[in-house]
Amino acid sequence: MKIKFLLLSGFLFLFCGCQWFQNVPNQPQPVTRTEYALGTIISVRVNHASGEIADSALDKAFSRLFEIERITSAKLPDSELFFINQNAFESTVIVSEELFFLLKSGLTYAELTGGAFDITLGSIVDLWGIGTNNARIPSQSEISKALENCGFEHLVLNEDEFSVRFLKEGLKLDLGAIAKGYAADEMKQVLAENGITSAVLDLGGNIITIGNNAGNGWIVGITDPLIPNEICAKLHVYDKTIVTSGNYERFFMYEDTRYHHIFDRRTGFPSDSGIISATVITDVSMTADALSTAFFVLGTEEAVKLTENLSGIEYILIDRNLNFSISEGIEVEIIK
Amino acid sequence: MKLLNKRNIVYTCVIFALFAGCVAAWFFIRNSEVEEAFAVIYKNSEQVQSVDLSSETSEYQISVGSAETGINIILIKDGAIGVISADCPDQICVHTGFIKNRIVPVVCLPNKLEIRIVSGDKVHGVFDAVAR
């Protein structure tokens, strides 16, 4: 009797166990890929039950990224943007529809922000050389001269023939402040079109998310601008992009002064608006990229005023005294 | 045939308790796996070396680059990695200090060098990503 019972119990045990393991859903597994592009590290993590589908989607998304880099890089000698910078003063240059869209978007953001965001500051960026071996503090006369060659009003776009023309000889375009955002939007779209419903993309610190993470929101930290190895705030997001502009990413120190890479067109110097970290949370990463730069340059008061006329834009602004200005539409947990 | 006697009920309870214990243990082990810290060093967009920080117990240095491309001296110690000297003008890579998680990479833009922790699902504890 006892043996029969034990056999019966054992069978029941195995049966239940098999049923239980069978009922465990086919869990999505994370697949991460990291590549170097647009002058930074791009890391994408997708969650999908099929590694094959995840790999295929990642292949296509990264191909798209490299396509965008070949168009928008100001440094690659064979890029479309490089060609424009070399030739658009001498003659009208016909460009691809994609680059035209980016330039037009750049002008729209410049007008929206009163020039706080400006894609024509290439001469100032080159002059300071921040983040390169040639980083230095230029003389005031050099800065004044370079500023004469800046300004989005000197860039003329013709939508009928997708052409570009510079009205100033030294004008130089730099799409660094929107290219990563645009690439993030495009990679997100490619992943979504290829069956990915859950992913987080990190383009050199620009974050964009797809869907949710196993039913929960994605938990995104905001870098502490004073101690960049640490986090100062966190938020939960679904299908959002989070872009931060800070003075701690590219800079050099001279006599206790930090010279960083976000320039104020009005002065030709690194922006000194009081903001040391500007984060924008919205749906379109290119918009977040442009506005985070603009907010950094504008300062808290003007940035907040600007958002009053915009919808769907949330922000976290941190000034040099570590005062946080946070929009009402987003829940943020301040960690310190 | 008195299958439902007191002793058999006790046996059944014990067997199911064992089964529940196995399931609980499986969940515990799965969720408490120590996250590996795996650092990758990139130079000029290309991976030059990877280091499994979670298994490294010795302290050692790596020199990356040349006089033409810029030199960074990297130190691995105590499960962390960082640049201790560089010939770049801004020294941001040295000031970044040592990293052992994915919050921020160590970056030397003048020398086109980047050190990044790449393993694990979570960036640092609860974070899926960090905006910077």
pLDDT in tens, A196-253: 999 999 998 899 999 998 888 999 999 999 888 788 999 999 999 999 999 887 888 8
Chain A nearest-CA residue for B4 = A5
Q: Helices A51-72 and A80-87 meet at what angle, rounded to 10? A: 10
Interface of A with B in 224-253 (CB under 8 A): 228-231, 234, 242-244, 246, 248-253
Q: Is B50 on the interface with A (CB under 8 A)?
A: no
More confident residue, A282 or A75: A282
The CA distance from B62 to B76, in Å, is 8
| Whole-angstrom Cα Rg for chain A | 24
Q: What average pLDDT does this structure show over A154-159? A: 96
pLDDT above 70 covers what percent of chain A? 92
Residue B78 in contact with residue B69, Cβ under 8 Å? no
pLDDT bin (cut points 50, 70, 90) of residue B35 is low
Identify the weakest region by mean pLDDT among A206-220, A290-304, B97-111.
B97-111
pLDDT reported for residue B3: 63
Q: What average pLDDT does this structure show over B116-131? A: 71
Q: What average pLDDT does this structure show over A87-109? A: 97
pLDDT reported for residue A134: 81
Q: What average pLDDT does this structure show over B19-31? A: 63
Q: Is B130 on the interface with A (CB under 8 A)?
A: yes
pLDDT surpasses 60 at A24: no
φ, ψ at A86 (rounded to 5°)? -80, -30
Q: What average pLDDT does this structure show over A173-200? A: 96
pLDDT reported for residue A5: 56
**Closest among A74, A105, A118 to A264, alpha carbons compared:** A118
Q: What average pLDDT does this structure show over A40-68? A: 93
pLDDT reported for residue A23: 47
Residue A58 in contact with residue A31, Cβ under 8 Å? yes
The CA distance from B59 to A212, in Å, is 40
Q: Is B104 on the interface with A (CB under 8 A)?
A: yes
Burial zone of B14 (CB within 10 Å; 0-12 exposed, 13-18 middle, 19+ buried): exposed
Q: What average pLDDT does this structure show over A154-173? A: 96
pTM beyond 0.80, yes or no: no
Look-up of token digits 């955002």: A181
Chain B nearest-CA residue for A10 = B15
Closest by Cβ to B129, choosing from A36, A133, A218 = A218
**Closest among B110, A7, A140 to B94, alpha carbons compared:** B110
pLDDT reported for residue A140: 96
Q: Do A231 and B90 touch (CB under 8 A)?
A: no
pLDDT surpasses 60 at A285: yes
Look-up of token digits 């990877």: B50
pLDDT reported for residue B34: 46
Identify the weakest region by mean pLDDT among A46-50, A328-332, B90-94.
B90-94
Q: Is B94 on the interface with A (CB under 8 A)?
A: no
- Edge to edge, the sheet with strand A324-326 lists A29-37, A40-48, A199-203, A206-210, A241-246, A275-282, A314-319, A324-326
Closest by Cβ to A231, choosing from B91, B103, B121 = B103
Interface of A with B in 11-50 (CB under 8 A): 12-13, 16-17, 20, 30, 32, 34, 36-37, 39, 41, 43, 45
User: Assign residue A265 a region: left if phi > 0, alpha if psi is -120 to 50, beta otherwise?
Assistant: alpha
Look-up of token digits 């503090």: A137
Contacts of A146 (CB under 8 A, 6+ apart): A123, A124, A126, A127, A138, A170, A268
Chain B residues within an 8 Å CB radius of A8: 3
Residue A90 in contact with residue A192, Cβ under 8 Å? no
Q: Which of A19, A47, A232, A252 to mutate to test the interface with B (most CBs of B within 10 A)?
A: A252
pLDDT bin (cut points 50, 70, 90) of residue B33 is very low
pLDDT bin (cut points 50, 70, 90) of residue A8 is low
Q: How far is A135 from chain B (nearest CA, A)?
A: 7
pLDDT reported for residue A83: 96
Terminal Cα distance for chain A, rounded: 67
Q: Do B132 and A205 touch (CB under 8 A)?
A: yes
pLDDT reported for residue B90: 75
Contacts of A309 (CB under 8 A, 6+ apart): none
Q: What average pLDDT does this structure show over A285-305? A: 97
Q: What average pLDDT does this structure show over A73-100? A: 95
The CA distance from A172 to A174, in Å, is 7
Q: How far is B58 from chain A (nearest CA, A)?
A: 24
DSSP A154: G
pLDDT reported for residue A243: 97
Helices (H), chain A: 2-23, 51-72, 80-87, 97-112, 122-128, 140-148, 176-193, 285-298, 300-307
Please name the amino acid found at residue A62.
Answer: F
Q: Do B12 and A9 touch (CB under 8 A)?
A: yes
The CA distance from A112 to A287, in Å, is 11
pLDDT surpasses 70 at B124: no
Burial zone of B91 (CB within 10 Å; 0-12 exposed, 13-18 middle, 19+ buried): middle
pLDDT above 90 covers what percent of chain B? 20
φ, ψ at A199 (rounded to 5°)? -165, 155
Q: Do A279 and B40 touch (CB under 8 A)?
A: no
Chain A nearest-CA residue for B22 = A17
Chain A nearest-CA residue for B88 = A133
The CA distance from A268 to B90, in Å, is 20
Closest by Cβ to A5, choosing from B3, B88, B114 = B3
pLDDT reported for residue B13: 75
Identify the weakest region by mean pLDDT among A12-21, A73-82, A140-149, B30-39.
A12-21
The CA distance from A299 to A126, in Å, is 24
